[in-house]
Amino acid sequence: MRARAAVGAILVAGLTAVLCAACGSGAEPKEGSVDRSEQYATLAQRPDIDEAQSTYLALLETLRGELVAEFGIAPWQPASSTPPGSACGAEFPDLGADGEIRRFTSGISPGNLPDATWQAAVSRVAATAGAQGFGTPSVVVDRPGDHEVSLKDGFGAELLFGTAANTTLSLSTGCHLTKTAKDRGEPA
């Protein structure tokens, strides 16, 4: 009988410990984590996603025009789809529908930029994008006839410029609040 009582006491103690641990595990934030209000406040300092889209699309339009005019590449064939959007992901995980990332493609310019003019084209893209807050290009691919660079801005946007069978430009915004979320002035 004592053995049963001892086993029962051990089981109750163990179950109590497990339940207490489970109750406390969500109460304290992880070290280095940022709560929803702080995430919102960070993004409230940025343009909303519609303002960001307008700025980034204007940048892509300018870059397309410069590349055609200065490097004689073929006129751009526009992308046929609307830009996809998604939640903000790991950097701002708690915002849900308040935050959004969008991805834009400029379509393609049929044909390759010759290796001899690639660096000059990268310099042109870097200068124009730099005026909009993008940093220096990082090489993604660099081999004969196949090149790609990435430029990033302070909001987490990434501009990709490449040439292989075709010349391409694409841009993924960083996380921005939706207009509704920004106008509301606080997280949902």
pLDDT digits over 79-131, tens only?
Answer: 877 777 888 888 888 888 999 999 999 899 999 999 999 999 999 999 999 99
Average pLDDT over residues 15-44: 57
CA distance 63 to 54: 14
The CATH-assigned architecture of domain 36-184 is: 2-Layer Sandwich (3.30)
Q: How confident is the model at residue 78 (pLDDT cuts 50, 70, 90)?
A: confident
Q: How confident is the model at residue 34 (pLDDT cuts 50, 70, 90)?
A: low
pTM of the predicted model, to two decimals? 0.79
- Give domain limits for the chain: 36-184
Q: Which residues contact 57 (CB under 8 A, 6 or more apart)?
A: 104
Do residues 159 and 171 make contact, with C-beta atoms less than 8 angstroms apart?
yes
3-class state of residue 97 by DSSP = helix
- Answer with the residue of higher pLDDT: 35 or 67: 67
What integer best gives the mean pLDDT of the chain?
84
